[in-house]
Amino acid sequence: MKKMISICVMCYNEEENVVEMALAITEQMKKLQDKYEYEIIFADNASNDSTVIKLKHLARNDKHIKVIINNRNFGTRRSGINCMRHASGDAVISIPCDFQDPPELIPEFIKEWENGHKVVCGQKTSSEEKRIKYLLRSFFYNIIDYFSEVKQYKHIAGISLNDREIVDQVLEYGVDIAYRNLIAELGYEPKLIEYRQRKRRAGKSSYNVLKYLDFAISSLITTSIVPIRVATILGCILSFGSFLIGAVYLIYKLIYWKSFSTGVAPMVIGMFFLGSVQILFIGLIGEYIGILLKRGTKLPLVVEKELINFEQEIRKE
């Protein structure tokens, strides 16, 4: 009996890429069709271009292609996990739809899986994107790795393969933590396949500076308690330092009562400094509380508008 390989493709406004991506993946899987069955699952995050129309056309002409259309844009992470939930494969491959991660790597990933690696990840060793963006990513990965209590893996954001055992664990734990951080937290050491990241083939990424910043902060908060520990220690140091400065100020004033002028400027500067530190620490505490709130709030992973080519189609108007 042939093993089943599921390929999950997350997309949002990828009208210029979905057809080419479906053809590229199909070409790779047809090379392996003597040994494997396969399904290609496109998870669309409520695209507002012609992506959905093209996906429906692809699904009508090829039963290997399945489509999940979400009710709104739930984000790549939640949409990706929901796509895994629908995957029936013995192994599940996740790949973005922008062609920055080459579909040609799929056979190599499957080969490493057959060699006994339950997690196989593509690792970017260089990139055709802007150099400053790649350097900032590297800096971010180093920060996360430095503060995290467990070893983190760098530049493995794109294409990956997970054995069914890992998929089941990701479905259980992985809603509020990035995939790369979750794999490290669970203790799996992935087989890393190095590649050079390409430029986006067509279209424009929906990620901007604010989304990257949000992702960076969330990753740091979910992988380490060091920031809150640093805040506690720094608060103690600043409190002690403020007490010493105040004591020295008082002594000087008592000794040089007539000639020593306290002035308003030191007080104002000190108030602004301590106030900014307090706001920073409150924001940091708020980030941790936000993570707890997300995990404690019972909301659906995603709300699906339509399923196509699955055993039981669901349509909601």
Residue 40, in any domain of the structure = yes
Q: Which of 121, 80, 102, 92 is nearest to 27 (CA)?
A: 102
Provide the domain count of the chain. 2
pLDDT of residue 37: 94
Q: In what order do the strands lie in the sheet with 160-163?
A: 191-197, 119-127, 160-163, 91-96, 3-11, 36-44, 65-70, 304-308
- Distance of alpha carbon 262 from alpha carbon 254, whole angstroms: 11
Residue 148, in any domain of the structure = yes
The contacts found for 109-118 with CB under 8 angstroms, 24 or more apart, are: 109/159, 109/161, 109/193, 110/5, 110/32, 110/36, 110/161, 112/161, 112/191, 112/193, 113/161, 113/163, 117/190, 117/191, 118/162, 118/163, 118/165, 118/166, 118/188
Residue 8, CA atoms < 13 Å, CB-side half-sphere? 27
**266 and 179 fall within a common domain:** no
Average pLDDT of span 10-28: 93
Residue 45, in any domain of the structure = yes
Residue-averaged pLDDT of the chain: 81
Is the sign of the CA dihedral 64, 58, 122, 295 positive or negative?
Answer: negative
Whether 314 shows a pLDDT value over 50: the answer reads no
Q: What is the pLDDT of residues 197-251, one digit of tens each?
A: 887 766 666 655 666 666 667 767 766 677 777 777 777 777 777 777 777 777 8
**140 and 258 fall within a common domain:** no
**265 and 134 fall within a common domain:** no
pTM of the model: 0.74
**20 and 50 fall within a common domain:** yes
**167 and 289 fall within a common domain:** no
**17 and 34 fall within a common domain:** yes
Residue 315, in any domain of the structure = no
Task: Kindly state the greatest CA–CA separation across the chain.
Answer: 96
Q: What is the pLDDT of residues 77-120, one digit of tens each?
A: 888 889 999 999 999 999 989 888 889 999 999 999 999 999 99
- Whether 7 and 32 have beta carbons less than 8 Å apart is answered as no
pLDDT of residue 297: 65
Residue 116, in any domain of the structure = yes
Residue 316, in any domain of the structure = no
- Distance of alpha carbon 304 from alpha carbon 95, whole angstroms: 20
**181 and 291 fall within a common domain:** no
Q: What is the pLDDT of residues 136-181, one digit of tens each?
A: 777 777 777 777 777 777 777 678 999 999 898 888 876 666 777 7
Residue 269, in any domain of the structure = yes
Residue 29, CA atoms < 13 Å, CB-side half-sphere? 20
**148 and 58 fall within a common domain:** yes
CATH at residue 160: 3.90.550.10
Q: What is the pLDDT of residues 186-200, one digit of tens each?
A: 777 888 898 888 877
**66 and 180 fall within a common domain:** yes
* Phi, psi angle pair for 88, to nearest 5°: -110, 5
Parent domain of 269: 226-296
**231 and 137 fall within a common domain:** no
Whether 26 shows a pLDDT value over 90: the answer reads yes
**260 and 133 fall within a common domain:** no
